[in-house]
Structure 1
Amino acid sequence: MNHAYTVTAVRSAERPLLDSGQGDALMRRAAWGLAVVVLLELRSRGPVVGSTVAALVGTGNNGGDALWALAFLRRRGVDAVAVPSGDRMHEVGLDALRRAGGRVAERVPENTALLIDGVLGTGARGGWEPPRVPEGVAVVVACDLPSGVDADTGHVAGGVILADVTVTFGALKTGLAVGAGAHAAGRVELVDIGLGPYLGEPDVLTLEREDVLAVYAPPAWDDHKYSRGVLGVCAGSEQYPGAAVLVCSSAIATGLGMVQYAGPRRAADLVLAAHPEVVAGTGVEGKAQAWVVGPGLGSDDDARRRLAEVIDVCVDGGLPLVLDASALDLVGLKDLGRLRDAGCEVVLTPHQGELLRLADRLVPDLAEGFAELAKADPVTAARRTAEALAVVVLLKGSTTVCAAPGGRTLVQNEGGAELATAGTGDCLAGLVGSALARTSHGGPASTVEKAAAAAWLHGTAGTVAAEAGPFGASSLPSAVRHALTGR
């Protein structure tokens, strides 16, 4: 599990070291880590000696890190060039570069093999217009974070220099893990400069493969179908029967013990044609240990009746519930209150538009400025909604944000634009439901961690499916198996 921190937390962690006179040592430590990553990038592409590395150098400590890195690189035979972006540069770093034999130029040389972005640091906010990067530059390495990215939110207000690699110092910043910031950062390399003992609690977390495999664990030798998890699915309608198939298919692909489907005959026939092992009926009776309701449900009186039936059975049994798609527009505050009082864990899975409608309808206190907040800072938007409604919010987008009441938040960036197609959200709902239904598996993972595990699996399966050929949501379930097993 990876941890990311706000700028405030990182600066607080630096303070004891700075107060003890270690400021120069911290900069050189960071710069050496940056230089090592640059050397590895150069070596992967050809000779190091004689290659040109240029750095766009800002006026602050970020520029100082870049200058020291150039000085280290120059001593290894690199033509090291500093290109100032302001009217001054870090004096000690500039002196180190000159003593090493580096040089200063007005613009990036056309023969530059690798460009270091050292213009703006973690304190930068607002729009910025980046300089032109010459076409011949093969690699861009960002110093701490790409210039133009808000280090706390990942928001890009103006221009940004897209990085192939970002070398960040001391701790991963939240803005490198969310939205446009995560996209601009490329591969992120963390350089340890000794902040660990002072960092405290992270702002957001990110699951890795081993965390996800702990949630979707294979069966034990003595398992039976009920101990492996039973998921109830209330999805699909006469108008949208395919949603039921996608939810059930993705849940089955994770290795659940049983999927129970409750829905109209047309949808049930499609589900059974695809998966005869599904237990199908028109009602919600059965042994489900968690429920998914909403995909393809519609908005008519029948949809309301079906949602109410699922809520009743969850309240009676204290069962976890995933509310997705149509259910997000139908559920009321009274429903959520009943579920909360019964001890039911509830996960809402909106995309941004659904989140705005949900907040406007159920949390009017959030309405003013909420649309702008959701766009610029989805982590805070998801957190506020989760806290106000006392539920876990899985906010879908280029970064999936999973926020629990109390503020614990996980973000996942697996997958890409291939998932922006009809039906993929139905598959995600099935994966979330599967994670919640695994009452005897998955170790100590909390509900928000299970939601994040589903987001990881969904994104990873999307990448697998897209690599195999033309992509559609129906190709996701088989890719889920591959993502879990590697086969």
Structure 2
Amino acid sequence: MSVFAYPSETIREAEKPLFEAGIPLMARAARALANSAAAILKSDHGQVSGTRVCVLAGPGNNAGDALFAAATLGRRGAAVTVITLFDRTHDEGLAAARSAGAQVVTFTTAQAESARADALSELSRADLVLDGILGTGGRRGLPEHISTLIADWAPHRTGRLIAVDVPSDLDPNHAGAGKRLHADRTVTFGGLKTELIDPRVDEFIGTIDVIDIGLGLDPGLATAELLDSDDLVTGFPRPDETAHKYSRGVTGVLAGSEEYPGAGVLTTTSAVNTGAGMVRYLGSPLVAEFVLGLHPEVVSASGRIDAVVFGPGDPEPEFVQGVADALTGNHTPIVVDAGGLDMIARAESMAGTWLADRPLIITPHAAELARLLSRLLGEIITANRIGANPIRWAQRAAELTGAIVLLKGHHTVIAAPDGHVVLPEPGPGSLATAGSGDVLAGILGTLAAITAAHGRYDSDDRTRPPREWARLAGLGVLLHNEAGRRAVTASGFADALAEVVSELIHGVD
């Protein structure tokens, strides 16, 4: 199910009144950390007793979490060593670890070389290491004696590493990965931190366990939402027994051209198979013949539309103008993909265009977004720059265009104009094939049409906030992912949608 990510400052502010009220937050965190550590030790070694655990202890509260957890592991029979790396650490936690039998190695810049050798020896033979060096409030960059120790330990590391709350020195812009800790698991407390969702830090965090310690965070304060396949099962819009074709949404498809007819077929097929009440094809008569030959239920006559998919296959200008005229003055949602993005880039602003004042989802890959931003910003933005920081650039594009920006890639990033981000779980590698984006566009168009139609027939005429549209786009990506697990070509994905959607609506026998 979905998980919300919050700025570290938001989580710290939520902790303050509970600390002041005497709520034992550290005890809760340490108990959960000890349980997670014990599970790893049991998985790797069959038991906790007899294993070796090492704590890298810094000066803050995350060191306290690690030390108290290590004390629990020590009482369960683990041999614990604490390596203190600064002139101070969490005194109560250190005392608890000592009372449970922990040995202490003091290794600071003032210590002799023998202490460094002892620290390296303990790390190299540890079955599990707890990284409690620096937390979210720590400054970027580890002191030289620590980074050198980490680099020397890396070739000899045989055990697992758990990062406590966040991996120390978690800076996506910092080079020197060899002198940084690479966690197998990050156990974070209170809520998922925004720092942990950046795709650039994946190699440092491992799997993430989010431990609820009773903060009661408001999802409205979240900066991001992570979606998985369970969200698709619960969030897919299913028709009820009173549904009819118009209440299920009418998807307009302006895709394909005489030069690229296949894009029109793929986009329309995916719109049909995603469960639209009706699909209208709005483009070239030549492409319409291909579409109707495969899907006789598609309508090519003009009429009511709840959402439009525009752009795949570079539709001819006369059909673009026809759709623009039909949509002027209303608020019909639009999904813009591929060649349609150039129309946005050529507009000096969104105001005054037929794309303005409506829900708008754009679906570029990195190169397409680079071209769009280069025109909007008046400077050269490259695909490499986009790939180096996809969240930031998707947010920038959403801010500039007022659109929901779905930046396609292995880690698809969806940004709303207010900066909120939706991150669907990655899909299979089979999706990286020609025409896959056309299929996704058709999915998004139909989900938008269903949503718009539901609003009308449920007497819900409120304006849906951009975050809801961003989440809807995330569900579309998850549906695309599931189709990608059942086929290896774009036409196969479009066909597989019928089976996936049937299972979502009717269930699996």
Question: Structure 2-normalised TM-score?
Answer: 0.79
Deviations 1:163-213 (A, max 9, x none): 443211112111222323356434322223343368972222234556545
Deviations 1:78-136 (A, max 9, x none): 23333455676444323321211123451355554433333342235656765417564
CA contact (8 A) 1:212 1:453 kept: no
CA contact (8 A) 1:126 1:158 kept: no
Distance 1:119 1:389 in 2: 42
Aligned counterparts, 1:443-458, within 5 A: 446=465, 448-458=467-477
Aligned counterparts, 1:28-177, within 5 A: 28-45=27-44, 46-84=46-84, 89-104=89-104, 106-107=119-120, 108-109=122-123, 112-124=126-138, 130-131=150-151, 132=154, 134=156, 136-137=158-159, 139-150=160-171, 157-159=175-177, 161-177=181-197
Unpaired runs of 5+ in structure 1?
Answer: none
Unpaired runs of 5+ in structure 2?
Answer: 105-117
Displacement after TM superposition at 1:17 (Å): 4.3
Match of 1:472 among 489, 492, 496: 489
Counting aligned pairs with the same residue, the percent is: 39
CA contact (8 A) 1:169 1:192 kept: yes
Displacement after TM superposition at 1:324 (Å): 1.0
CA contact (8 A) 2:57 2:133 kept: yes
**1:400–1:134 Cα change, 3 Å:** same
Distance 1:229 1:295 in 2: 21
Distance 1:199 1:451 in 2: 15
Distance 1:180 1:169 in 2: 21
**1:112–1:244 Cα change, 3 Å:** farther
Distance 1:410 1:211 in 2: 12
Residue of structure 1 in register with 2:15 after alignment: 14
CA contact (8 A) 1:215 1:441 kept: no
Distance 1:127 1:479 in 2: 48
State whether structure 2 residue 275 is matched by structure 1 residue 255: yes
Distance 2:86 2:388 in 1: 28
SS at the partner of 1:336?
coil
Which region of structure 1 is more displaced relative to structure 2, 304-313 or 32-41?
Answer: 304-313
Distance 2:490 2:356 in 1: 34
Displacement after TM superposition at 1:40 (Å): 2.7
Distance 2:181 2:285 in 1: 54
Residue of structure 2 in register with 1:381 after alignment: 393
**1:184–1:210 Cα change, 3 Å:** same
**1:246–1:200 Cα change, 3 Å:** closer
Aligned counterparts, 1:31-430, within 5 A: 31-45=30-44, 46-84=46-84, 89-104=89-104, 106-107=119-120, 108-109=122-123, 112-124=126-138, 130-131=150-151, 132=154, 134=156, 136-137=158-159, 139-150=160-171, 157-159=175-177, 161-182=181-202, 184-196=204-216, 201-207=221-227, 211-213=231-233, 216-264=236-284, 267-280=287-300, 285-297=302-314, 302=316, 304-331=317-344, 332-333=346-347, 336-338=350-352, 343-364=357-378, 367=379, 374-375=386-387, 377-430=389-442
Q: Indicate the RMSD between aligned Cα atoms, in angstroms.
A: 3.6
Distance 2:155 2:71 in 1: 22
SS at the partner of 2:237?
coil
SS at the partner of 2:453?
coil
Larger radius of gyration: 2
